[in-house]
Amino acid sequence: MRIWKFGHNVDTDQIIPAEYLITGDAKKLATHAFAKVRPEYSREVKEGDVIVAGENFGCGSSREHAPRALLGAGISCVIAKSFARIFFRSSINIGLHLIEADVFDRIEEGDEIEISFEAGVIKNNTKKEEYKFKPLPEFMRKLLESGGLINYIKKQK
């Protein structure tokens, strides 16, 4: 897993600018993710990459397009010190893994990491370090494993 590092207060307009909200298709949204703040992002992001950010990731409007664009780009997880509440819930509902952990100053862009969601451990292979985080409750992990809320409900029938 390769790291993309962003700062504090990354809002939904930075994740997916408003002029690209004409579709809900994750792959189409992904082609415009971070278009105004990291134009190279959509060309260089790879399946399985991880975003590391500071405080208040996903603040701004409550659009579900932002986490959907990240999923469409192949992001496997966002690790941040804190998340905006609506972004957090929307992400879980559509199947985007999130971790709240204070690792902003410890993980650098380009670092290679491994994550154990159940054990609550991030292993930084580049720096030979491990960081602990509080795992999500079992129910939320089941939602994520199912690919989000709708897929979880479908599997219950």
Provide the CATH number for the domain around residue 93.
3.20.19.10
End-to-end CA distance of the chain: 34
pTM of the predicted protein model: 0.94
Q: Are strands 129-132 and 121-124 parallel, antiparallel or unpaired?
A: antiparallel
How far is residue 151's CA from residue 109's CA, in Å, rounded to a whole number? 32
How far is residue 50's CA from residue 57's CA, in Å, rounded to a whole number? 14
99 forms bridges with which residues in the sheet?
A: 79
What is the residue type of 140?
Answer: M
Domain total in the chain: 1
pLDDT under 50: residue ranges of the chain? none
The pLDDT value recorded for residue 34 is: 97
| Half-sphere CA count of 24, side-chain side, radius 13 A | 3
On the 0-12 / 13-18 / 19+ scale of CB atoms within 10 A, 79 is buried
The pLDDT value recorded for residue 116 is: 96
The pLDDT value recorded for residue 2 is: 86
- Domain with 89, as residue range(s), is 3-156
The pLDDT value recorded for residue 62 is: 78
| Half-sphere CA count of 157, side-chain side, radius 13 A | 4
How far is residue 39's CA from residue 22's CA, in Å, rounded to a whole number? 19
